[in-house]
């Protein structure tokens, strides 16, 4: 076997052994958008760059400020239904009723095929 054929065979073998490469999920869109001011949303959606592993991905919504209350302590919004949409990339957080006026942070964690947990947050205000 000549040197060129041997190098070609080794290169092909190395590409074959590499397998599928997975990337960490990145947040590409949120509704409400980061830093937005909105009217009483009933749902928050977070769309990622990769297909999520539903059992390992999630979020919590915390009210961090309320009009008229100077030192409002953070208050987790309980009872939200969290699911992954049929596209596999969108995390949906649905509330039983619209969120009231105040400032909010969505603390999320997402896991895709590479199994690395990525965390982040999005803030918004309800008027």
Per-residue pLDDT, 21:
56
Beta pairing partners, 48: 27
CATH architecture of the domain with residue range 22-126:
Sandwich (2.60)
Burial of 122 (0-12, 13-18, 19+ CB in 10 A): buried
pTM to 2 decimals?
0.82
**What pLDDT digit, counting tens, does each position of 9-32 carry?**
545 544 444 445 568 999 999 999
**What pLDDT digit, counting tens, does each position of 35-80 carry?**
999 999 999 999 999 999 999 999 999 999 999 998 889 999 999 9
Up-side HSE of residue 98: CA atoms within 13 Å toward CB?
11
Phi, psi of 14 (to 5 degrees): -65, -35
Per-residue pLDDT, 6:
56
Mean pLDDT, residues 82-87 taken together: 98
- C-alpha 98/C-alpha 61 separation (Å) is 13
- C-alpha 77/C-alpha 9 separation (Å) is 58
**What pLDDT digit, counting tens, does each position of 85-99 carry?**
999 999 999 999 999
Please list, in sequence order, all residues whose beta carbon lies within 8 angstroms of the beta carbon of residue 118, skipping any fewer than 6 positions away.
24, 25, 26, 109, 110, 111
Task: Kindly report the number of other CB atoms within 10 A of residue 59's CB atom.
Answer: 20
Listed by start position, the domains of the chain span 22-126
Element (H, E) at 104: strand 102-111
Pairing of strands 58-65, 102-111: antiparallel
């Amino acid at each position: 076997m000549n040197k060129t054929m041997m190098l070609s065979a080794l290169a092909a073998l190395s590409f074959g052994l590499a397998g599928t490469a997975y990337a960490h999920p990145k947040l590409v869109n949120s509704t409400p958008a980061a830093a937005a001011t909105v009217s009483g949303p009933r749902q928050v959606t977070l769309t990622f760059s990769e297909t999520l592993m539903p059992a390992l991905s999630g979020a919590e919504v915390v009210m961090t400020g309320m009009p008229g209350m100077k030192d409002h302590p953070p208050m987790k919004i309980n009872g939200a239904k969290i699911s992954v949409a049929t596209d596999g990339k969108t995390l949906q957080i649905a509330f039983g009723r619209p969120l009231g006026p105040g400032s909010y942070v969505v603390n999320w964690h997402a896991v895709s095929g590479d199994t690395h947990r990525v965390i982040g947050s999005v803030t918004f205000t309800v008027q």
